[in-house]
Structure 1
Amino acid sequence: MQEKVTVITGIHYRTEQSVSLYLEDGRIKEIVPLPAERSGSALPWIGPGLVDLQINGYGGADFNTIPLPEGTVERATRALWQEGVTSYYPTVITNGDEEIEQALRTIARACASDRVSAAAVAGIHLEGPFISCEDGPRGAHSASYVKAPDWELFERWQEAAEGRIRIVTLSPEWPDAVRFIERCAAQGVTVSIGHTSATEEQIAEAVQAGARMSTHLGNGAHLALPRHPNYIWSQLAQDGLSACVIADGFHLPDPVLKVVFRTKGERAMIVSDAVYLSGMAPGAYESHIGGKVVLTPEGRLHLAENPSLLAGSVQLLPSGIHHLASRGLASFAEAWEMASVRPSAFMGLTAQRGLEVGAAADLVLFDRDDQGISIRHTYKAGQKVF
């Protein structure tokens, strides 16, 4: 039986040309320009599906609540589809050994038993506990659980995750970190440098060993750094490192974002690093990590007792894209690609070709104006999921 062909029409996010996309068997079969009489401002925009390499939770679904309630991953996935996210990496942060194992096992079980979760979860991001123990670089991660890289422990966690750990954030300042990085690289696990106080030499050795990325570069750092050298400059200077940044307008000032983009070029990507309070109504909350926090109507999450200190991110990728484009830090097409085809290509996902014939049909139909981006529909492998 011939596969049904789905046709979607809109404005191509890069060419700004009105087109019809023909989808068949989960892929883009054909792209046909529309005649002038069928073009118009009422059409939605069409872009590749968004890919979030680092997300801790969304809409009350938290990947770090132990025990992880059944259905958490599926609820998060369906909610993220409403935000145009077609692939993501649930992020498990520093915790006790057993707690991390339990979270990994529950996420893996969800992917094995639920087609919704399996379709969207491209892998798991393990952020810690092999990070700096220093205040500042450690960020909000609990000091009591931070430790040196431990390969035997990682193998145990990878077994619990059924091989789904695809990204590990660590600091190369630890002895024997190089050997750990080499082992990860040999198994196809992306090592990302983050929450670090490593020296320039340690960062260079980590890259030589196989580290490929920087985790939320510019955040998870000391409040004051030496003018030079310091670990932010050192990571920017490493051509072998791609850089992820949080582009919500709160975590990094625009000049820093501009420098990262100019330095890294095609290797620059954006992540949300959103916590589970993302998507919730503004107000005061009790966070199991940050304590009493406040989510403002503008989308800024801060500590209740000290509004100058952020308590995490709550802006998803569409907000980051809008911020970059509206502030002139990147063209709209470039900003969209920082959150879609670039991370997809970096991680070797099937949707990395974007809007091309033969590419995987992970797509987003959306509206955009001066106020932001509004998602109309999301397609995963050619199927409308929102």
Structure 2
Amino acid sequence: MEGIHYRTSEPISVYVKNGLIESIKPLTGEGERSLPFIGPGLVDLQINGYLGMDFNTDPLQKATVERITRALWSEGVTSYYPTIITNSDEAIEAAMSAIAGACKESPDTERGVAGIHLEGPFISPDDGPRGAHARRYVKPPEWSLFERWQEAAEGRIQIVTLSPEWPEAPDFIAKCKASGVVVSIGHTAAAEEQIREAVAAGAAMSTHLGNGAHVMLPRHPNYIWEQLANDELWTCLIADGFHLPESFLKVAVKAKGNKTMLVSDAVSLSGMPAGEYDLHIGGKVVLTSEGKLHLADNPKILAGSAQMPIWGIAHLAAKQIVPLAEAWDMASVRPSAFMGVPSAQGMNAGAPADLVQFEWDGERIRILKSYKQGKEVYGNER
């Protein structure tokens, strides 16, 4: 395939063999022919649903997982972590089993689902930090219960978001780390010392930092400052232009540097047309033509994210918070590197040929083609 390297801006030819990048060579003699950009496939650590489909529907159907996996190719997402949020013990177990079953039955799903993200129920019960999670299901971390869910998932739970305010948290975090599961701090009302104890025990990431928080906080100290200041924590941001102001995005990027990552945290209405909807989580909501999703009776309260990673990449680049290449890395190579998956190699020989061809007009990104292990899985006319 041919295109403009997303980092160097040089025309290149990418040669693929057996699902891997065999070589990348300069493309010469092209004159003025217009070429698309080529970048590594996007990796989203937190997706709740897409195109009206929701991983948190009870019961979750295996076919839904497969359909979402294939649909995400149109957004340049070649690997992702379906996210299961706070629910009853039985509903979480059933969702884990459904995702595992979908992966076993569909090779495309197996290749696309890099792991499962369990967001809750071990989070803060407080209004504000709890977000839209159901209060009646929130509980302290319990290792035996987690083992039950991990068994249902057949070992696929790779990320757990929790609040370290629970006394049981440090021991639970240490057990997760020993078993190879990433612990992320989120939906928390934890004190600063509790966050430090969590990091010492093995917590390594912040879930959508700046969101899932109290409306009012002490100016300092508080749990957002503490996570920003902790050099051990990688940080995930929702950069859709609605969840976080530009000032916060700038500060977070400066504080975290190469440990800054983008997530969509997209709900089922991502990819859907503007209009009014009735969600099983959130109730009556409005998706505006500008892309903002809010409660129908209060436009000031967000009802989740309705945008995919390319939206966040475009927002960061258009507002000149970071260059396009860095924003793309924040949603591809960095999450891959953090999770230790092969696509961390990016666009280099020997890396998986998970690639995306796209256009960038300075404001918006348009996906033209997506490739999974060298196979074209989505195509769009220029």
1:19 aligned to which of 12, 18, 23: 12
The residue type equivalent to 2:22 in the other structure is K
Q: Distance in 1 between matches of 2:199 and 2:8?
A: 36
Give the C-alpha shift of residue 116 in structure 1. 1.2
**Alignment gaps of 5+ in structure 2:** none
The match for 1:58 is 50
The match for 1:384 is 376
Q: Does 1:71 align with 2:71?
A: no
Q: Distance in 2 between matches of 1:74 and 1:26?
A: 21
List, as ranges, runs of 4+ consecutive aligned residues in structure 1 with deviation greater than 3 Å.
none
1:30 aligned to which of 23, 27, 36: 23
The match for 2:109 is 117
**Matches of residues 1-386 of structure 1 in structure 2 within 5 Å?**
8-35=1-28, 37-40=29-32, 42-386=34-378
The residue type equivalent to 1:89 in the other structure is Y
Q: Deviations over 1:239-281 (max 9, x none)?
A: 1100000000000000000000000000000000000110111
Give the C-alpha shift of residue 41 in structure 1. 5.3
Q: Distance in 2 between matches of 1:251 and 1:70?
A: 31
Q: Distance in 1 between matches of 2:207 and 2:297?
A: 27
Q: Distance in 1 between matches of 2:112 and 2:146?
A: 24
Give the C-alpha shift of residue 39 in structure 1. 4.9
Give the C-alpha shift of residue 70 in structure 1. 3.4
Q: Distance in 2 between matches of 1:199 and 1:40?
A: 58
Q: Secondary structure at the match of 2:302?
A: coil
Q: Distance in 2 between matches of 1:108 and 1:364?
A: 27
Q: Distance in 1 between matches of 2:5 and 2:311?
A: 19
Q: Distance in 1 between matches of 2:155 and 2:62?
A: 20
1:216 and 1:271 in contact (8 A); partners too:
yes
Q: Secondary structure at the match of 1:135?
A: coil
Distance 1:292 1:41, change over 3 A: farther
Q: Distance in 2 between matches of 1:254 and 1:183?
A: 37
Give the RMSD, CA atoms, in angstroms: 0.7
Q: Deviations over 1:12-70 (max 9, x none)?
A: 000000000000011111111011x3154521100000000000000111100001123
Moved more, 209-218 or 346-355: 346-355
2:315 and 2:363 in contact (8 A); partners too:
no
The match for 1:4 is none
2:237 and 2:263 in contact (8 A); partners too:
yes
Residue-pair matches, total: 378
The residue type equivalent to 1:17 in the other structure is E
2:318 and 2:363 in contact (8 A); partners too:
no
Distance 1:40 1:121, change over 3 A: farther
* TM-score, normalised relative to structure 1: 0.97
Give the C-alpha shift of residue 150 in structure 1. 0.5
Q: Distance in 1 between matches of 2:133 and 2:62?
A: 24
Q: Secondary structure at the match of 2:159?
A: strand
Q: Distance in 2 between matches of 1:226 and 1:199?
A: 11
Give the C-alpha shift of residue 283 in structure 1. 0.4
Give the C-alpha shift of residue 370 in structure 1. 3.1
Q: Distance in 2 between matches of 1:128 and 1:230?
A: 21
**Alignment gaps of 5+ in structure 1:** 1-7
The residue type equivalent to 2:181 in the other structure is V
Q: Secondary structure at the match of 1:351?
A: helix
Amino-acid identity (%): 64
Q: Secondary structure at the match of 1:385?
A: strand
Give the C-alpha shift of residue 360 in structure 1. 1.1
Q: Distance in 2 between matches of 1:371 and 1:166?
A: 34
Q: Deviations over 1:162-221 (max 9, x none)?
A: 000000000000012100000000000000000000011000010010000000000000
Q: Distance in 2 between matches of 1:73 and 1:324?
A: 29
